[in-house]
Structure 1
Amino acid sequence: MSANTPAAAAPAKSKKMLLIIIGVVVAVLVIGGGAAAWFISSRSHAAEDEEGGGAPAAHKEAPKVAPTFLPMENMVVNLADPGGDRFAQIGITLELEDAKTAEQVKQYLPTIRSGILMLVSQRTSTELLQREGKEKLATDILREVSRPLGYSVPSERERAKAAAAAEHDEGDAEERPAARKRTERTERNPVRKVLFSSFIIQ
């Protein structure tokens, strides 16, 4: 009988060990499965947040509308060079906010063309051959087109004054909100750009 007791104890111990090992494996699987499920769900929530966070922002933004382009007839203008023998042939296309603005501009085209002819006739070929001269002319034409529609485009001098005033006011914390409010109240000009489709000087 004493010979059978150790043999009976051995299978009992091995069964206990087997049960412990199975229990540990099951616990590891449960913990690992829970961790994997948590990781996957947290990633999917993060992806939803990114998509959900981006979608309302896209809806809040106004849909981009393609601008309307209004080409004007080419103009031939005598320049202000000594002797009066130089002239410029200029093609202008206006980039406008929408078709409604194009219709408004068309109503004032004779006035606008006259103003542009006066502007160009005051330039010399030396001025207009340089990029800066063309850019300044484009700004002046933008002002000329905007004026009949009731919008103003600041001149270079006015822009320089505004920049100097902004630099002066930078240190004053009370002035900055007021300047920001003034900027927010100004209306956006529907005449966006003046584009040169051709520019020949002879």
Structure 2
Amino acid sequence: MKMAEELELEPLDKGAKAGKKKLLVLGGVALVVLLAIGGGAWWFLSGDKAPAPQAAEAPVKAAPASDGEEALYVALPQPFVFNVPGNKRDRLVQITVQVMVRGQAKEDLVKKHLPLVESVLLQTFSQFSEEQLATSQGRETLRSTSQKAVDDALTKVTGNSVIERVLFTGFVMQ
């Protein structure tokens, strides 16, 4: 009886060892493939890269003004969310805004008068309809109208022009 049990156990042990060997070989192959992919990605990402053309950098960097002050951006703390009338139904619009100024003194003025800036922007945004905001030309008109309105309001309070540009960094209409 013992012989039969040993014979039955022996093939099972050999099969289990063969399964473990296959698992180890497959794991080793998978490891080599992962290392090859990782090495290729590292080589590709760390290789020498040609500098970007100057024309591509121009819109990203703001040119210094004649007085040499650098461009600074003041992000308004919360996006503007409001309704606009539409043909079939009202639409919900969300606009995230940043204001570009020149120099630390003007940045401080915008931060000081942030409630005024937000109020003027909200009043300006509420004057536009769905049809106007649905086109890129309409959004550009909104941006330039907003810029003029905010600069006029800040000029009345501070005595000089403060902002250079109003930027929409997010625009969603649903």
TM-score (norm 2): 0.54
- Contact 2:155–2:162 (CA under 8 A) maintained in structure 1: no
Q: Matches of 1:140 and 1:114 in 2, distance apart? A: 14
Describe the superposition over 1:138-168 as per-residue Cα deviations: whole angstroms up to 9, x where unpaired.
11211222123326xxxxxxxxxxxxxxxxx
Describe the superposition over 1:7-53 as per-residue Cα deviations: whole angstroms up to 9, x where unpaired.
xxxxxxxxxxxxxxxxxxxxxxxxxxxxxxxxxxxxxxxxxxxxxxx
Q: Matches of 1:62 and 1:144 in 2, distance apart? A: 24
Q: 1:101 to 1:134 in 2, by over 3 A?
A: same
Describe the superposition over 1:148-195 as per-residue Cα deviations: whole angstroms up to 9, x where unpaired.
3326xxxxxxxxxxxxxxxxxxxxxxxxxxxxxxxxxxx984411111
Gaps of 5+ in 2: 1-64
1:126 counterpart residue number: 131
- Say if 2:52 is the partner of 1:80: no
Identity percentage of aligned residues: 23
Q: 1:93 to 1:81 in 2, by over 3 A?
A: same
Gaps of 5+ in 1: 1-60, 152-186
Greater share of helix: 1
TM-score (norm 1): 0.47
- Contact 1:75–1:90 (CA under 8 A) maintained in structure 2: yes
Q: Matches of 1:146 and 1:132 in 2, distance apart? A: 21
**What number of residue pairs does the alignment pair up?**
107
Q: Matches of 1:141 and 1:113 in 2, distance apart? A: 10
2:168 counterpart residue number: 196
| Structure with the greater alpha carbon radius of gyration | 1
2:105 counterpart residue number: 100
Describe the superposition over 1:87-120 as per-residue Cα deviations: whole angstroms up to 9, x where unpaired.
1100011110112111111222212212211211
1:69 counterpart residue number: 73
Greater share of strand: 2
- CA apart distance, 1:82: 4.7
Q: Matches of 2:160 and 2:136 in 1, distance apart? A: 26
Query: Which segment is superposed worse, 142-151 or 72-81?
Result: 142-151
Give the CA RMSD over aligned residues: 2.5
1:91 counterpart residue number: 96
- Contact 2:155–2:161 (CA under 8 A) maintained in structure 1: no
Q: 1:101 to 1:122 in 2, by over 3 A?
A: same
Name the SS for the 2:107 alignment partner: helix
Q: Which amino acid aligns with 2:75?
A: P
Higher relative contact order (CA 8 A, sep 6+): 1
Q: 1:97 to 1:81 in 2, by over 3 A?
A: same
